[in-house]
Structure 1
Amino acid sequence: MGLKVPAEEMTAFLDEVFPQVVGMFGIDHLDEDGLVMRLHASEQHLRPGGTVSGPAMFSLADVAAYVATMAHVGKEALAVTTNCSIDFMRKPVAGEDVLAHAKVLKLGRVLSVVDVLMFSEGSPDPVARATLTYSIPPKRDG
């Protein structure tokens, strides 16, 4: 499973197809074994008590799974999430970015299954785990 889209090209693609998340996420590492994506946690991502909210972590997991899938299949803007299961295990450390470690578990013609472990930056214990399935649109001829 080689990469079809390197990190720099994937960042530009995300900026183009998802302008609403420009600056929210960053790709720290991307290779055929996996992806490390960062949520630049800011005030808008916090819930009462100063911790990163569940919806912000869901967004991180979803975008990380999308990027991990697209890196292997090529730029398919219309790929969509068909399933997500997320377990929140502990509160992220207040004031720290959240890192998502994503790995494609299965890549087929029409579905991709991705596992995502999320950590507070600098902490060895995961704060959440998600498994996502993406539907990959059929290739068009021409």
Structure 2
Amino acid sequence: MNGLFCVAVHALIYLDKRGCVLSSEELAGNICTNPARVRKVMAPLKRAGLVETRAGAEGGYRLTAAPAQVTLAQVADALGVRFVEPAWHSGGEVDCGCMVASGMASVMDGLFDEMEARCRARLGELTLADLEDRLTAEGRNTRGL
């Protein structure tokens, strides 16, 4: 799973649950990361219109839409992340005379692209509200916010 995506989803759900403007420091404390990483993640979310910012001493981030209207695919698209991609390619010798060596990289790229498309389709079916429901069902919010 892409770490930036995890930070983004966590931040968006926490913003919704708190229902107010929160600084990158406050978000980072809840996410268990550092404020610089939060700001790195929030910038593309702002460009995508998923959050807005307020400057100043009382500044920070605020969710702009109802959680039921924000799909996980929108979050992933805003961040430009891929979930399924190989860390290494085998083969690649296009003209080596061996069908396996010359074709495996292309075949695997196609497979990874197909898996990524299926992952994106599923993320398009899920919203922030769906994940909030899962949190409630798992009893993870028993200590409040």
TM over 0.5: no
Larger Rg: 2
Structure with the higher helix share, 1 or 2: 2
Structure with the higher strand share, 1 or 2: 1
TM-score (structure 1 length as normaliser): 0.28
